[in-house]
Structure formats: structure tokens, C-alpha cells
Amino acid sequence: MKYENFIDKSYKPKKTDLVCKFRLKPNGFTFEKAAGGVAAESSIGTWTELTTEKEYMKKLAGIVFELKNPYFKVAYPIELFEEGNMPNTLSGIAGNLFGLKEIEKVRFEDIIFPKKLANSFKGPKYGIDGVRKLTRVKNRPLVGTIVKPKLGLNVKDHAKVAYDAWFGGCDVVKDDENLSSQAFNRFEPRLKETLRLKRKAEKETGEFKAYMINVTASGKEMLRRAKLVEDSGNEYLMVDILTVGWAALQDLRDINVNLVMHAHRAGHAALTKDKEHGISMPVLAKCSRLIGVDQLHVGTAVGKMSEGKTEVLENIKACKEELYGIKKVMPVASGGLHPGHVEDLYKIFGKDFIAQAGGGIHGHPQGTVKGAMAMRQAMDAVVHGYTLKEYAKKHNELRIALEKWD
């Protein structure tokens, strides 16, 4: 079968088909031939006709059924994919296409899973509703922070920063994406000491506090750490989903631990930032959701990250849209945030999200406790219908934060 044989504009996708949308910029070839090449190389075809082709194989061909330059869509028969195997699914769809000579640039824009394939994955154990039940935060976004500096603190100082944030009003505190078990801050001592101060903060504030400790490591070590976290009595883990890989992420979801999975997308921009080439964040979000993360970084639309409002809304939709009864993922806004951003964040995200401010809490002129207070005050203000400026008149911590950053 030639590349052109994988195009059928009259084809109507079946409910059992997996449908993908691509953006394409050909390299010296027609748009149609390059699009057909994507469908061929990601299903049963290759660059030349084969003597080993069989007639019965044709029903397994990916079919380009819509071409609206620069976009096209491909319908893949469900039989091309192994149930519950995300590495196989993405190797098939996003394997050879990025290297084809017929293509200058191609972007994997969207993916629509058929019900049978989607339900072959475990999905989130907790999701938005489970996170709210666990944290006992019902009617507002969760307030969080990242321990800063991201690297360099010893165990004692790391735990103290976390405690100060919890005491000041943060619901959640997490490790940064590149803290694992370096010599200056080993995993086991950090877990023990930070949990000790987490429990102290819970007793003193009367609120649930979450510690998202980063278990990112090689496969066996990551699973060992996850079980250690559960055995310690903690409720959360954090993992860098792209650097550990899809297989390791599935293994982490599959082991029998009852931990909320907080997903950091470290490295995503290498795939998502170029609007003409790579893989979009909604695709990554949908795949992560099917595997079973409960919380996922989706950008901010404000702060230091490059994604705008439209992109962030698309990422949020991938986390929350109805998907065959699969639980919804809690979106996380994180990256260059401070209390002055909360009004905009609330308008963009709504009630169900986590607002994580790192430098915007620990950089408060009066320290971490006051910084956490300011962030919580900002959230209380918008939830109850006040402007930040109005609320700051009677809340000194928020006033000082706004004077510094807003």
C-alpha cells in the first residue's frame, strides 16, 4: 500500500476507532502524501510496497479521513493497540512520524480514545472528588507551595520550610521536580522529618496538611519509595511523569498503594512548546489521566510559564471533561505565582484547582509563614467576592505581598 492509499475522505470513524488530530508542514511533498505517510507509518504501512502484505491486513490501516491544511485527522482501528498499554499506544501513534523525510514539522494535537481502550486503563484512584474528601477542603481551591530553594536545603531546614508553609495556611507542600535523594537531603530522613512536622502543623491548625514527596527514580527504587511513603502513614506522592516514562508511571499506578498521585510534567516543553512540532499538552494530559494520576500541572496563563489562557483552558478540559466515567484530574497551577495572581487564576480555573506559589510565598518580605498567610488570604478574598485590594486593607500580609509583586 502506498502512502496515498491511506487516505479516504469518505470514511466515517467508528465508535471503536482511536482518532488523532495532527498539524502538518510537509517537506517538499504534497500535504496529502505526507498525511498519508503519517497514517501508514503509524499503522500497517511503510515507505515501499511489500511482498509480505496480506489482504486481511487492510482492515487494520489507519485512515486519513479529514484534511484541512495544515490539519488532518486519522482514525485507527482499535485492534492496533494492546489494552492497558500506554507505551504501545504512543509508540504506534507517535513513533516514526516525527522523523519522516516527507515532513518538515508535525504536531500531535489531540487524541480521542474509544471507550473499550480507555476503560482498559485504571484511571485516577482519587481524582478531584477524592482529593477534596481526603483534604476536607470543599468549597475553595487548594493553596499550595513548593519547598524553595528547590535544591540545597538539608533535611532539617527543608522540613522547617514545609512546616512554616502549612502553619501559615497552605493545604499542600511538595518537593520540587529535581529533588530526589541527593547526598545533602536523603529521601528517607526527609520523609520522616517532614511528616513529623506535617503532623505538628495539623495538630496546631486543626486542618489536614498534604506532603507531596517526590518518589521519582529508576523503576524498582521508585516503587520501593512509594511503598515506604504509604507505610509511613503519608497520603501523597509526587512523580515526574515524563522523565520516569509511561511504563514506569503505569507500574506506579498498578502497585497496591493508596496514595494520591501528584503528577509533575518536568520536561514537557520539549514536546509541547513548539506550536508546529511535537506533542500537545492535552494529549499528555489525557494519557496521564487514563494511566491514573490524580493531580497534574497544566500551566498558569499568568506567572512565569509560556502557555496562554487558551492553552491552559485546553489543558484543564483534558483533565475535567467527561470520559466514560473515568475520574477527573485536579488541575495544578504552578510556576512564578504570587498572591496577586489569584484573582486571574480563579477566573480561569474555577473552584477545582490547586494554586501553588513557590517564590511567591517564600519570597514574602516577612518570611514563609506570612507568605503562606498572604496566599491563603488572597484565596479567601476571591472566593468570598472581595477584590484583593479591598481585602488587603485589613490583612497586612496580603498588603505587603501585593506591594512587592502586583
Q: Is 148 a catalytic residue?
A: yes
Is 264 annotated as catalytic? Answer: yes
Question: Distance (Å, rounded) from C-alpha 19 to C-alpha 114?
Answer: 8
| 8 Å CB contact between 289 and 319 | yes
Active-site residue, from 21, 198, 264, 320: 264
Closest by alpha carbon to 375, among 335, 344, 402, 394?
Answer: 402
Cβ neighbour number for residue 331 with a 10 Å cutoff: 26
CA distances in angstroms from 65 to 84, 110, 282, listed in the order given: 26, 15, 22
Cα separation, 326 vs 60, in Å, equals: 27
Closest CA to 377 of 336, 335, 330, 343: 343
CB contact at 8 A, 196 and 159: yes
Angle between helices 86-93 and 281-291 (to 10 degrees): 160
Q: Nine-digit cell at 338?
A: 504570587
- Give the E-state strand segments of 27-101 in sequence order: 63-68, 71-76
Q: Which of 73, 148, 328, 341 is catalytic?
A: 148
**Nine-digit cell at 354?**
490547586
Give the cell for residue 75: 482514525
- Residue positions annotated with a catalytic role: 148, 264
